[in-house]
Structure 1
Amino acid sequence: MQRDSVRQNCALCGSHAPSWLPGPISTQNHGFATLRMSICGQTSLERSGAVVLQMMPPDHGITNQAQDQPSITTTDPISMYSDREYVIHDSCLLFLEKTVHSSSFPLRRLYEVLASLPYSEIYQTVDWGRDHGMRDVENECGYDPWLVRLSPDPEHPLRPYSTFDPLRSPQVDELLSNSAMGRSEIVPGESSRLNTEIITIGNGHINSSDRFLRLPTEICCLITQYLPTTDVANIRLVSRAFRSSFDHQSFWASRFHQFHERSWLFEALDKKDRLDWRRLYDLTRYASIDKHLKNRRRIWDLVPMILGTLQLRWHGSLDRTAPMDADHSLSMIARCHKQRPGFDIREVSRIHLLHKVPVPTRLSQIRVSFTQLGDAKYVCGFTFWRVDDPPCHMGYESHDQECVNLECFDGIILTTTKRGVRAVRFLSHSTTPWLGQTGGFTSYSKLSTERGVKLIEGAFDGCKMISLAISEVEADT
């Protein structure tokens, strides 16, 4: 069937789904309990139509439902409940795939994350907690100020280029052609022997405090390739060992590698001709690129945060499905949101998985993992490090972690919002520092015991902790 999705926005970039499409999206309707993800765009990506993910029992696989569907499949059971279809531009999905170092794209994880985010019926898109590169809108319709949404104002100065296909810019070939002129590695006239050069200061003594001067030039060049350009500009003012950093083509070439400021022009890395990377860097300044590339840069800046949520590692089982409630048999429960008049569950995150673990009796350290959504960090899991045994994990594990050293704890204090847990501190003989973001929040939940914590259970959506429950150590009889 043909489904008119004019009023739907891309779940990744926030722009209108058919912005650069010739017509409506082809998809299939499998009923209320169907999980649907439509991928729309040009056929040159060999991915026309829609991907349909249908809710199946755990012992069944999930495959595409028609021959004209894209060649994306998943054999893992979907454990997220949703009646919503998420539309994604093929261009936006390609950008995300380019940053995933895996043989297959984690499509199931992407759907679980999307289904975990609040959905705006007004703006027809999920809320990542950021503005998609556009202006924040005024608080309206009862939404909390921290819910940043896409501006609906058609006169906004950033709006025009958000409708241009970021993959098909006629300027790309022109930029690469104008930069394919060749250039020596070092600008003529600049010295490359900084490691053997004697640097003196006003009174004629050797500047022994500049330890970088003892390094070979090649090492200094390699260091700069891992730093942002602004940091390299600053370090050139601090140490003369980096004076010639901007004269090396290898440095400017690194600006086009992953997560540097020109990585969005990935065609440059595929170019077989020798490029003048410094010239290409200058030609791709924001004021010089066309609207297609401006839109690409806007979308590309959103990718790292989305990628971080996809790479979270889950340590519990996946045999329970949402919707679900936390275990009320546990003695003390803290929730991030409660039912209220006019409450709409679509405004907040929904519980997806539960994970209950026993608290080790002899601890050495507790690590708290965080995930980033917009400008906010959320707690996504705990790791309890035991004295003599392997660590015990609860929930997700990420690279962004904070830790506290303690032997035991009697309770937990949480900073909560409707979206999830933002910060925690543990109660022991002395209260530990906050782990996470606490600024500007007044909603706290305190879970405390007299004899120590025996069990701890977290409720999670697709990327973060939603609520927490604990049970007390039983009294001796």
Structure 2
Amino acid sequence: MSPRVCSCTLCGWVVVDAPGSVSWLNQFRGVIASTNGVILTGVGLYDDPGRGAFIAPVDPNRRWDDPTYDGTDEDQFGAMGFPPVNGRYGFIFHDACWDLLEKVFNPGPVPFPRLFDVCESLPFPLLIVDNEHHFPFEDRFSDRDYMDPDPVLCANPYEAEEAHHLLTEAPEERPSPKGPVANATAPERDSFHALPQELRSAIAIYLPTLDVLNLRLASRSFWTIFNSQQFWASRFKQKSDRSWLFESQDGAQPRDWRWLYHRTNNAHIGPSLQNRVRVWNLAQKVVAALDFQWIDSGSEPSQQQGSTQCLKVSGDLWERPSGPHHSHLDKGCLLRETYRLTIPEDLSMVSIWSIPIGEILYIAGLKFATATGDVRQIGYRTTTEQSVEISDIRGFKLAVGERGIQALQCIDQNSDTSHWLGNPEMSLKTLRLNADERINDLDIGFDGCKIVSLALSPQSSSIVRLAQDENRLRNMGMWYPEIPGPDLCLNEVSFAPREHYLDGFKPLFWTSFGGPGGAHLRRLNNFRVVLSPAGIRRIDFTYDTLELNRAFGCQMPGDLTKEIDFAIDGAGGELISAVDIFQENVSTNRGRTCFFSFHADLPSNTSFRVATAPGEAMTGFYGSQVSASTSLLCLSSRGVPFID
């Protein structure tokens, strides 16, 4: 049986070392669920990858090398998605990474029950290196090449001897900066000049370092901050940009803090401290992701499971696997509970709470309030809250990613949309929950830290109307980067699987190679199509101006792909006039054609031709990417009036 190698939940690097070795790489702790609740284990040693057993003391204060500990199989647990062993399962961390996590949470403890809920709600390893060949709304992960050791990732981030060496180095004399720049604000026009020096120093201490350095360029009053040992010492305190050098807080010996700040620049430190900086920054993101509190006032159990009379939007939900081979989940989210919240009739305000997961904000909770103080709320309350005043909700426009709901806009009785609550960037957009009738109840689905689904049950007449809408793909599909506007003709009847894309997490993406109103058609000069045996992976459009170049699809060329170029005389008035869907045959208004296929023979698929009417031109494609492995694109096209 092949060795089983898992990665640390925090740092993403492997929990394994060479046979017979004992190092920080193969010493671990587990955050596991047991009959006694969620517990933190002691330190175990993973020295037999062939067996694949994670064994650690149940007592968090014990270690595998304690003289009285025998490491029995009774202490084994299922790790990283594998089934429970001895009634226990959970997630592993390098012991060194866990020590850093405790330092970041200091002076409080790591809330490991909450950490377990978050870990169980997300793909894992949570923070390993991301594969670039995907859409921004997707979470794709790829394993590192563990056979080629990385000098930084393999260096112990906690026991860093370099930290002790640099704290005992003799500071070098550094030149003092020149005087204030010429364009700095003159004292008589500088509002900060009237403040005492002590107050200006206090202000600087609460600002990020880069902001302070920029402030010095704008205000002469802050010029002296550069020589303030008090300011530079604050850079090494909790939550500041050098807080990872926690050894600097030991002892009371005087230090040249400005020199030490320069000495600990990333270019001046070795692999161990570079890895510490990396893991420390990841740990700070964990702190932000765990900064929430569950709130529930006025909800009831959801009644929409299995109902066909509901509209639902969600991330890419996956079922909890039951077999032993489900440790490689690389996307999506897990639905744990669904609640129904009644929206007050005299509504005056809608609020959301957001939580950061990596670099993305997700909606963690919802609150509906009236002017008289009646509040209905549910979810994970965080420090990030946004609100909008609205009295009547007829629907929502949602921004969605694979892991859950990222942002929403409320739609009122006049079909006007509010500003975004949350961050909609780099996400799918959909109008599926625009019922065009007053919304009384909302079914809200959660994982362990955020909202992963929203659903409503409109009147049956609204369901029928939406199902028969000739623009139902535009309005109910999930689109990237934005919902196509009403001025763009989608030729929906040419998209055979249209009904399939009206529910569930089934992303559609599009690009306008012709630009607004066909403005870029005259500058288009080439299509390059990247093909695999499964179909089209990507189309690159090139123009006479580099800035206009764009792509349809995200998969790059590979060993089993081929590329076909089709030149277009856009400057001379040549246009795409027809596309044969499913055969990927493109025709121009000059009678030229190009067949995009990996194989020499025409496919046997039934073709559906989309042709432009007189005075119109093809200006874009939309489609779906079936999977990251085959990247099969289903093409369709759009036409807008084109003026010669």
- What range is the shorter-chain TM-score in? 0.7 to 0.9
Q: Which residue of 1 aligns with 2:448?
A: 462
Alignment check: 8 A CA contact 2:355 2:363 kept: yes
TM-aligned CA deviation for residue 296 of structure 1: 0.6
1:356 is aligned to 2:347: no
Please state if 1:127 is matched with 2:113: no
1:147 and 2:140 matched: yes
Q: More strand per residue: 1 or 2? A: 2
Report the TM-score, using the length of structure 1 for normalisation. 0.73
Compared with structure 1, are the counterparts of its residues 366 and 201 closer, same or farther at alpha carbon in structure 2 (3 Å cutoff)?
A: closer
Which residue number in structure 1 is paired with residue 311 of structure 2?
A: 332
Cα distance in 2 for residues equivalent to 1:326 and 1:414: 19
Give the TM-score normalised by the residue count of structure 2.
0.55
Residues 364 and 406, structure 1, Cα contact 8 Å, conserved in 2? yes
Partner of 1:167: 158
What SS does the aligned partner of 1:302 have?
helix
Aligned-pair CA distance for 1:383: 1.8
Deviation at 1:40, TM superposition (A): 4.3
Asked whether the 8 Å contact 1:381–1:464 carries over to 2, the reply is: yes
Partner of 2:389: 405
Query: Quick check: 2:29–2:93 contact (8 Å CA) kept in 1?
Result: no
- Determine whether 1:305 maps to 2:303: no
Matches within 5 A, 1:298-447: 298-316=278-296, 327-328=305-306, 331-337=310-316, 346=329, 347-429=331-413, 430-447=416-433
Partner in structure 2 of residue 45 of structure 1:
none
Say if 2:56 is the partner of 1:50. Answer: yes
Q: Give 1:28 shift.
A: 13
Aligned to 1:108: 113
Once residues 222 and 371 of structure 1 are traced to their aligned partners in structure 2, the CA distance between those partners, rounded to angstroms, is 29
Q: Distance in 2 between matches of 1:314 and 1:26?
A: 27
Q: Is the 8 A contact 2:333 2:403 kept in 1?
A: yes
Structure with the greater alpha carbon radius of gyration: 2
Q: Which residue of 1 aligns with 2:169?
A: 178
* Residue 137 (structure 1) aligned to one of 114, 123, 131: 131
1:413 and 1:189 mapped to 2: Cα distance? Answer: 52
Q: Return the offset for 1:332.
A: 3.1
Shift of 1:256: 0.5
Cα contact 2:364–2:451 (8 A) shared by 1? yes
Distance apart, 1:450 and its partner CA: 5.1
Contact 1:245 1:251 in 2 (8 A): yes
Cα separation, 1, equivalents of 2:40 and 2:412: 46
Task: Flag the 1:325–1:389 CA change in 2: closer, same or farther, 3 A.
Answer: closer
User: Partner residue of 2:571?
Assistant: none
Q: Distance in 2 between matches of 1:29 and 1:278?
A: 43
Q: Is the CA contact 2:317–2:334 (under 8 Å) kept in the aligned structure 1? A: no
The answer for unaligned runs of 5 or more in structure 1 is: 43-47, 54-63, 71-79, 120-125
Following the alignment from structure 2 to structure 1, what is the Cα–Cα distance between the partners of residues 355 and 83? 22
Residue 377 of structure 1: how far off its partner (Å):
1.6
State the identity %.
26
- Distance in 2, matches of 1:26 and 1:252, equals 35
Aligned residue in 1 for 2:207: 227
The 3 A distance-change label for structure 1 pair 179 and 112 is farther
- The amino acid of 1:444's aligned partner reads T
| Matched position secondary structure for 1:161 | coil
Once the two structures are TM-superposed, the CA of residue 452 in structure 1 deviates from its matched residue by: 1.7
Q: Which amino acid aligns with 1:89?
A: H
Query: How far 1:448 moved relative to its partner?
Result: 3.6
Q: Deviations over 1:133-182 (max 9, x none)?
A: xxx43549x998642545336558xx22211211111122222222699x
Over aligned residues, Cα RMSD in angstroms?
Answer: 4.6
- After superposition, residues 287-306 of structure 1 pair within 5 angstroms as 287-306=267-286
Higher relative contact order (CA closer than 8 Å, sequence separation 6+): 1
Q: For residues 424 and 283 of structure 1, do their structure 2 counterparts lie closer, same or farther at Cα, with a shift above 3 Å needed?
A: same
- What's the offset of the Cα at 1:457? 2.2
> Retained in 2: the 8 A contact 1:380–1:464?
yes
Specify whether residues 101 and 24 from structure 1 end up closer, same or farther in structure 2 by C-alpha distance, changes over 3 A only: closer
